[in-house]
């Protein structure tokens, strides 16, 4: 099973899709997950959707 690529910012692990294009004018949507479910459960999808 592939794993989501995680970065470490301080004490927290983060999955970052990166800038959507060359233009710096974009929205950054930062999401903090709820109880139990976390970004790691996306691992099954990451290779298919390259996200």
**Among 26, 35, 32, which Cα is nearest to 9's?**
32
CA gap 15, 29 in Å, rounded: 12
Give the containing element (helix H, strand E) for 8: strand 7-9
Q: How far is the CB of 41 from other proteins (least distance, A)?
A: 7
Residue 17 binds other proteins (CB under 8 A) = yes
Q: Is 32 in the site for other proteins (CB under 8 A)?
A: yes
Does residue 6 interact with other proteins by CB under 8 A? yes
Give the footprint of other proteins on this chain (CB under 8 A): 6, 8-21, 23-35, 37-42, 44-45, 49, 51
């Amino acid at each position: 099973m592939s794993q989501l690529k995680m970065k470490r910012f301080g004490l927290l692990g983060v999955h970052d899709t990166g800038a959507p294009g060359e233009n710096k004018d974009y929205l950054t949507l930062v999401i903090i997950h709820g109880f139990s479910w976390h970004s790691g459960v996306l691992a099954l999808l990451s290779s298919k959707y390259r996200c």
